[in-house]
Structure 1
Amino acid sequence: MPLTPETLTKHELVGLPVRVVSATNPDLVGIEGRVVSETMRTFTVESASRSWQVPKQGARFEFALTDEAAVSCEGTGTSSKLGSETAGVRSGQSGSCEGGAYVTVDGVTLLSRPALRTETGGNSKWR
Structure 2
Amino acid sequence: MPLTPETLTRHELNGLPVRVADAANADLVGIEGRVVAETQGTVSVASADRVRQVPKQGTTFEFALTDEPADLAKGSGTASKRGSETAGVRSGQSGPCEGVAYVTVDGARLLSRPELRTEKAGDSKWQ
Asked if 1:78 is matched to 2:71, the reply is yes
Number of equivalent positions? 105
Q: Distance in 2 between matches of 1:29 and 1:62?
A: 11
Work out the percentage of aligned pairs sharing the same amino acid. Answer: 64
- Alpha-carbon shift at residue 78 of structure 1 (Å): 1.4
- Alpha-carbon shift at residue 89 of structure 1 (Å): 3.2
Q: Distance in 2 between matches of 1:21 and 1:52?
A: 15
With the length of structure 1 as denominator, give the TM-score of the two structures: 0.77
Question: Which SS does the other structure have where 2:61 is aligned?
Answer: strand
- Alpha-carbon shift at residue 117 of structure 1 (Å): 0.3
Asked if 1:102 is matched to 2:88, the reply is no
Using CA pairs under 8 Å that are at least 6 residues apart, name the structure with larger relative contact order, 1 or 2: 1
What does residue range 1-127 of structure 1 map to in structure 2 within 5 Å? 1-65=1-65, 69-70=66-67, 73=68, 76-79=69-72, 88-90=74-76, 93-96=77-80, 98-120=98-120
Question: Which SS does the other structure have where 2:109 is aligned?
Answer: helix
Q: What are the ranges of 5 or more consecutive residues in structure 1 without an aligned counterpart?
A: 80-85, 122-127
Q: Distance in 2 between matches of 1:5 and 1:78?
A: 13
**RMSD between aligned alpha carbons?**
1.7
**2:70 is matched by which residue type in structure 1?**
G
Q: Distance in 1 between matches of 2:11 and 2:115?
A: 9
Q: Distance in 1 between matches of 2:120 and 2:15?
A: 20
